[in-house]
Chains A and B, each alone.
Chain A
Amino acid sequence: MPLSAYLTLSAILFSIGLFGVITRRNTVGILLGVELMLNAVNINLVAFSRFHGTEVGMVFSLFAICITVAEVAIGLSLVILLFRMRRTAIADQIDWLKG
């Protein structure tokens, strides 16, 4: 398959993830959409790296995967904290600044 096939697949996944981030009301659902988008970016990085013949893109996507794991852990602990304080996970209802 040519490089453009991988890039198109990744673009489709990115758009679906963006759709999820926009339309989901639950914060966990929004996080899942962000996961999809990050995943699409990783496919892009690995495909470019393979077609370019260097390993730098793969190293980048390794960093991206590790950072995503940290992001998910902190995001979900924030969701649990919000649940304790507000008993809700709907992003529209989380609209106050005072802790």
Chain B
Amino acid sequence: MTPEVVGFWVLAITLVGSALGVVLTKNLFHSVLWLALGLISTAGVFLLLDAEFLAAVQVLLYAGGVITVVVFAIVVTEKLVGEKISHTSKRLAGGTIVAAGIFGMIASLIQRAGLDQARPEMVGDATAAMGMSLLTKFVLPFELLGVLLLAGLIAASYFARPEE
């Protein structure tokens, strides 16, 4: 058992467990906390795959940003109604069938594709390579992303403006 195998199994079990917590728990707030755990273990998977920069971005943006925003939204909406918002599920059987079907399809495709080779040795620094291609090959999408974030910021603050 190499450290990579041990790390993979620990992270995989944590990830699947927290994902089940997100979709199955009755309390909306607990769902969000399970999601935070899942997102942080995803950062661990990124570390296993030698993507340190992405792991940092994942923790900062997802676990830091998204979770905070969702918690704020829950607190604000519960305050607006003055009661706990319900967080139930329905159509459990249908959901199980569809999800299991999709998973079966993807798993059989992975089996058939025969992707069992070991990973190649890491050449160079992934973060440096990402930075180079972000500002050369992908500079236009990078700038567009900035425009998208600005538009999202304006739209979010417009939608959630105080009532006149």
Show the binding face of A for B, using Cβ within 8 Å.
Answer: 1-9, 11-20, 22-26, 28-29, 31-33, 35-36, 39, 42-43, 46-47, 49-51, 53-56, 58-59, 61-63, 65-74, 76-81, 83-84, 87, 89-90
Contact = CB atoms under 8 A, between A and B. Distances in A.
B99 A19 contact: yes
A49 B127 CA distance: 13
Contacts of A74: 152, 155-156, 159
A47 B159 contact: no
Given A13-B19, A63-B141, A80-B77, 5 more contacts: A4-B116, A15-B99, A43-B46, A77-B155, A83-B81
Given A62-B54, A70-B149, A11 B94 contact: no
A12 B16 CA distance: 7
A19 B22 CA distance: 10
A73 B61 contact: no
Contact of A81 (B81, B117, B159): B159
Contact of A39 (B31, B32, B42, B130): B42
Contact of A63 (B28, B31, B74, B145): B145
5 A-B pairs with least C-beta separation: A20-B23, A70-B152, A22-B95, A15-B103, A77-B159
